[in-house]
Structure 1
């Protein structure tokens, strides 16, 4: 099978979109398929796993490269002659890739991963929220099939008239994220720095950006016996540092590989604060690492956290509830251990091998579906 992947993000940029695309490419390589990658220009490698990587013009927005339209996209797809096009979190670049696929009679799958409308709503941009939904639907209307990562995303898209839809979650590396890493030298060294006096380490991993709402960590001010640890960076570093000024918090920066595994292994519990996750990959990594997880009762975490079994879900509008739930886990090593073990068991069937196998099944399912090649696409009315 020949797969053209048009992605809004790729290496060296590290985020959920890039991570998923890399895992898909690893699987395609392992199974003997062929692929190309088309991505925004941001110092990407010339190839990955032997697959050519093509960069197109981009601009930077909030430290993030945004791909722009280019005639190069149609030419690259036409020359590669794919069996299917995979649009990863399609925005401007992905929309052009889907349009090119339709012109060429190539079926396409759009993977919904970024909640543009949610961002607009959070910033109280009423008209922009509606416009974001119209634009997103216009993009996905061109695809043969849209894949969504969670039941919350499925409900939201169905309410706004998206069709056809199918559920496709994400995998997790069960070896990279494993409780036995707690005894690794790197984890022990980091644990010694974070918890020199037996403090309970409350950790977060992810981008430090407005949509992650990490300022909510300030709600834990004054809680005795804790140490906060943040892995990641981004445009909200200043705001988060201000909200947590004077609190016991360590900013570890962006980590990957063994250092990231060691960071999870040095935590006692994982706290997520953002309400706009379409999935929540770091929550799965925390579960795989044997950590209890506390997350908002919103979006992707609803599928990932079994409330009262693998962690807790809290009302994001109730700061007192968040504080109480963290306090409950801080006070009980037994509860942390029980939730952590249950979380590990919950993700044992979610390997990337299995999840990517499901994706190839979706590819095959659309290969005999008529495309929109002959049908004019509606113009997006952005008001």
Structure 2
């Protein structure tokens, strides 16, 4: 396994250029969420827009509930140009499939079983040149499992982007021993799928995730670091609003901000305890929490953890914000608080830094690679509430330090552009397609030579001088029968899908149970307060 850090590998292609060879190529992009739902889906949306704008033929497959039933609809910039005539067909290559939304996070679904051949037919009507799996889970697992059943000559190369730590989520959301079983199941499934020869590259966003993938015995030559970009024009210190600051902190209190979907795995229990401790230590602050959850019961449970501080006017929930409103919320704050330890990258951290707001984060996951400790913010031991609170107190009380951290954070964010990140992906796609085409050409030549050799060969003899008997006619017919091969492949896919579906059904059933518990607590609490 390669131990050479990605940062030491010389760039193979100019990051400012888009590969010409990728224009017109058919790319089937499967994602578990799409649109302005979360950091992962926003990253995927940026990539799709970049590829299409540069002439790649991209078809997106995503669960239906992330589009028409989305929590919020993005506002389109007024200056967005109309697609060119030859781009109209490409823009429409989007397929929405059905799934069961997870109760704790309805933005994610357990996708119902779907045949890979159906996806081919509904997108390009033929085999794509490459499959890109954005944060593979229920949909991505199905694609990888079915593809590995295909004959070698029919296998489409796959590039995966590992952006969601499913095992980490399970470890937090489920109590033992369910958490242990879920983590083990995901680890085994991911190891089985990622190590197949059809998976050519596995992008990862941080050292934390690389270590996880190495534990799954993924070959080092498949791993390539891919960080996130940020819109430094949208997220900018100049977005600071004096009006919003006066509204949030009329007495010039320190404004703390947290931007996150309201979910149990996002560290809100830790944040609530930190806010209570900051209040106990006498810090004059307002905590501005931006985000929500389509599951009202889950959102209510998160908010209840802050109820005492909400009553005191210390905590304000803003709900979902996006675009300029979100950028204004970032830039109008003094310190960004990041309490999740399940983030593979944590795009909100980079957006905060681009807004000139220093970060205090728990030293676990993606933020460990993004925040420069003591320069653009502070990293604290993941389980140490005291250390986290002390760093917030330190930054809150030192105006000069906040100013310097703000400038350094902005400078660091300016180095991370979306064009550079997306061109890295585009070059990897182009190289992978070119390598696949060469391999197919070599296989075709080899097959023709083998056919020529077979036509002139006599029955071979074994080392003992005995003739090697040909297989029985029935066995030979079965092995040559396309119907038999297809049925055998279907049986293997069905068995694998049954195992994966059973795992997802178990996860969904458990979350439904938890969701019902939340509803019962809410109902009885309401009755008691009447």
> d(CA) in 2 for partners of 1:190 and 1:28?
37
Equivalent residue for 1:191? 245
Partner of 1:172: 230
Q: Which of 62, 68, 79 is the matching residue for 1:39?
A: 62
Q: CA RMSD in A?
A: 2.5
Q: Which residue pairs with 1:10 in the alignment?
A: 34
Task: Note the C-alpha offset of 1:2.
Answer: 2.3
**Among 93, 98, 102, the residue aligned to 1:52:** 93
Q: Which has the larger radius of gyration?
A: 2
Which residue number in structure 2 is paired with residue 119 of structure 1? 169
Q: Which of the pair is proportionally richer in strand?
A: 1
Deviates more, 1:200-209 or 1:25-34: 25-34
Q: Distance between the aligned counterparts of 1:5 and 1:264, measured in 2? A: 31
Match of 1:141 among 162, 172, 195: 195
Residue in structure 1 matched with residue 3 of structure 2 by the alignment: none
1:242-296 per-position Cα deviation (integer Å, ceiling 9, x unaligned) = 2222211000000111111111111111000010111110000001001100111
Name the CA distance, whole Å, in 1 between partners of 2:124 and 2:89: 20
Q: Distance in 1 between matches of 2:427 and 2:275?
A: 45
C-alpha contact 1:73 1:96 (8 A) present in aligned 2? no
Shift of 1:135: 1.7
**If the length of structure 1 is used for normalisation, what is the TM-score?**
0.91
Counterpart residue number, 1:110: 160
Query: 1:74 deviation in Å?
Result: 4.4
Describe how 1:362-373 pairs up with structure 2 within 5 A. 362-367=428-433, 368-369=435-436
For residues 89 and 107 of structure 2, the distance between their equivalents in structure 1, rounded to whole angstroms, comes to 21
Distance 1:244 1:49, change over 3 A: farther
Deviation at 1:237, TM superposition (A): 2.4
Corresponding position of 1:19:
42
Question: 1:229 — aligned with what?
Answer: 288
Once residues 132 and 282 of structure 1 are traced to their aligned partners in structure 2, the CA distance between those partners, rounded to angstroms, is: 26
Classify the secondary structure of the residue corresponding to 1:328.
helix
The 3 A distance-change label for structure 1 pair 54 and 379 is closer
Say whether the 8 Å CA contact 1:227–1:249 is kept in structure 2.
Answer: yes
Do the aligned partners of 2:263 and 2:302 also contact (CA within 8 Å) in 1?
Answer: no
CA distance in 2, matches of 1:49, 1:15: 25
Deviates more, 1:210-219 or 1:94-103: 94-103
Given that 2:161 and 2:203 are in contact with CA atoms closer than 8 Å, whether structure 1 keeps it comes out as: yes
Corresponding residue for residue 90 of structure 1: 136
Task: Give, in whole Å, the separation in 2 of the partners of 1:37 and 1:94.
Answer: 12
Candidates 107, 126, 141, aligned match of 1:64: 107
User: 1:221-244: per-residue Cα shift (whole Å, max 9, x none)?
Assistant: 214211001110125422332222
The separation in 1 between residues aligned to 2:202 and 2:299, in whole angstroms, is 34
Deviation string, structure 1 residues 335-379 (Cα, Å, up to 9, x no partner): 1111111111112121000100000111123221469x9998995
Residue 277 of structure 1: aligned partner: 343
C-alpha distance in 2, partners of 1:233/1:327? 27
For normalisation by structure 2, the TM-score amounts to 0.67
Contact 1:34 1:51 in 2 (8 A): no
CA distance in 1, matches of 2:89, 2:236: 26
Cα 1:91–1:199 shift into 2, 3 Å: same
Question: Does the residue aligned with 2:208 lie in a helix, a strand or coil?
Answer: helix
**Structure 2 CA distance, aligned partners of 1:115 and 1:198?**
39
- Cα distance in 2 for partners of 1:48, 1:133 equals 39
Give ranges in structure 2 of 5+ residues lacking alignment: 1-24, 69-87, 444-484, 504-530
Task: Name the CA shift for 1:245/1:159 in 2 (closer, same or farther; >3 Å).
Answer: same
Question: Does the C-alpha gap of structure 1 residues 308 and 49 become closer, same or farther in structure 2, counting only changes over 3 Å?
Answer: farther
Aligned equivalents of 2:228, 2:185: Cα separation in 1: 28
Q: For residue 214 of structure 2, what is the aligned residue in structure 1?
A: 158
* Whole-Å separation in 2 of the counterparts to 1:48 and 1:330: 53
Higher helix share: 2
Distance 1:75 1:101, change over 3 A: farther
Once residues 95 and 78 of structure 1 are traced to their aligned partners in structure 2, the CA distance between those partners, rounded to angstroms, is: 21
Unaligned runs of 5+ in 1: none
**Is the contact between residue 283 and residue 393 of structure 2 (CA under 8 Å) also seen in structure 1?**
no
For residues 9 and 202 of structure 1, the distance between their equivalents in structure 2, rounded to whole angstroms, comes to: 29
Q: What SS does the aligned partner of 1:313 have?
A: strand
